[in-house]
Structure 1
Amino acid sequence: MKIGEIAKAAGVTTSRIRFYEREGIIPAAERGPNGYRDYDTRLITLLQFIEQAQSLGFTLREISDVEIGTGEHIVSCTDALALLGKKREAIIALIAEARERKRRIEALMAELEAGRTVQPVG
Structure 2
Amino acid sequence: MKIGEIAKAAGVTTSRIRFYEKRGIIAPAARGANGYRDYPEELVALLRFIEQAQGLGFTLREIASVEVRSGPHPISCDEAIRLLSAKRDAVDALIAEAKERMRKIDTLIGELRENQESPKE
TM over 0.5: yes
Mapping of residues 7-46 of structure 1, within 5 Å: 7-46=7-46
Conserved? CA contact 2:42–2:72, under 8 Å: no
Counterpart code for 1:67: E
Aligned residues: 118
CA distance in 1 between counterparts of 2:71 and 2:7 reads 21
Conserved? CA contact 2:10–2:48, under 8 Å: yes
CA distance in 2 between counterparts of 1:100 and 1:9 reads 44
Counterpart code for 1:87: K
Counterpart code for 1:89: D
| Partner of residue 78, structure 2 | 78
- RMSD between aligned residues: 1.1
TM-score normalised by L of structure 1: 0.93
Counterpart code for 2:110: A
CA distance in 1 between counterparts of 2:105 and 2:97 reads 12
The sequence identity of aligned pairs, in percent, is 64
| Partner of residue 61, structure 2 | 61
| Partner of residue 114, structure 1 | 114
Q: Quote how far apart the aligned CAs of 1:70 are.
A: 2.1
CA distance in 1 between counterparts of 2:14 and 2:101 reads 40
CA distance in 2 between counterparts of 1:63 and 1:71 reads 17
Structure 2 runs not aligned, ≥5 long: none
- Stretches (4+) displaced over 6 A: none
| Partner of residue 6, structure 1 | 6
Structure 1 runs not aligned, ≥5 long: none
Q: Quote how far apart the aligned CAs of 1:41 are.
A: 0.8
TM-score normalised by L of structure 2: 0.94
